[in-house]
Amino acid sequence: MQPQSQRGFFITFEGLDGSGKTTQIKRLTAWLAARNIAPVVTRQPGGTETGDRIRALLLDSKSTGLSPKTELAMMFADRAQAIEEIIAPALRTGKIVVCDRFTDSTEAYQGCGRELGSQIVLELHRLICNDLRPDLTILLLPDLAASLARARRRNTHQTSVTGKDESRFEQEQNSFFHRVYTGYKAIAAREPDRVLVIEGDLTVEEVHAQVTRAVSSMLRQMNLISS
């Protein structure tokens, strides 16, 4: 799985909990479908059978006392499986892959939020993920307080409907999310060619317009679409 052997197109969505990634991924998938493109859509953690089990352990608020390095290693265990099973095979056959979170999440959450630093994350990415680099990363950064309120509301609702508790991260303090936010900003500043930051108080429609503008310009460059 060499990055240079990629023939498809790899798009990742990043942002804080409650930043609206899920809605935008659905909108982008529909936009691509209207152009006869069926992307492979996946998410991290999860997406594979093993990954879903890792996800359950990571997100369950009953998983108390996970050390930051355990958390980091589990995120990469999940990612290694997803690359092997889903992402690399899809890219090899020329597909567009849309992934809800990737290594930038690990850098922002474990590197900055848990204060493990970026270096260990980037080093593991190199060793475990062969430095697989998204072609385009959409980073959604609406107002921090509003996204957190949305994420916490959503989890309370989900737990009451499904009985599944996935709120371990949402229960973190605001200072943790401030560090995650700052981490994301630093990644975007370091890699402006890859990361498109969509900031501020925008409507779903306005964000979608920015997403499709970026995606269509890259797909045109690669001759994957004509209009």
Q: Where on the chain is the footprint of ligand TYD (CB under 6 A)?
A: 17, 21-22, 43-45, 59, 75, 100-101, 105-106, 109-110, 151, 166, 169
Nearer to ligand TYD, 108 or 196 (CB): 108
Nearer to ligand TYD, 6 or 167 (CB): 167
Nearer to ligand TYD, 45 or 134 (CB): 45
CB 225 within 8 Å of CB 219: yes
Nearer to ligand TYD, 169 or 219 (CB): 169
Question: Residue 1 Cβ, how far from ligand TYD at the closest point, in Å?
Answer: 19
Nearer to ligand TYD, 147 or 219 (CB): 147
Question: Residue 159 Cβ, how far from ligand TYD at the closest point, in Å?
Answer: 12
Q: What distance lies between CA 37 and its chain's CA centroid?
A: 21
Alpha helices (H) along the chain: 21-33, 49-59, 68-82, 88-92, 103-106, 118-129, 144-162, 174-190, 204-221
Strands 96-100 vs 136-141: parallel, antiparallel or unpaired:
unpaired
Question: Residue 194 Cβ, how far from ligand TYD at the closest point, in Å?
Answer: 17
Q: What is the spatial distance between Cα 47 and Cα 155, in angstroms, rounded to a whole number?
A: 19
CB 141 within 8 Å of CB 181: yes
Question: Residue 226 Cβ, how far from ligand TYD at the closest point, in Å?
Answer: 33
Question: Residue 98 Cβ, how far from ligand TYD at the closest point, in Å?
Answer: 13
Q: What is the spatial distance between Cα 216 and Cα 220, in angstroms, rounded to a whole number?
A: 6
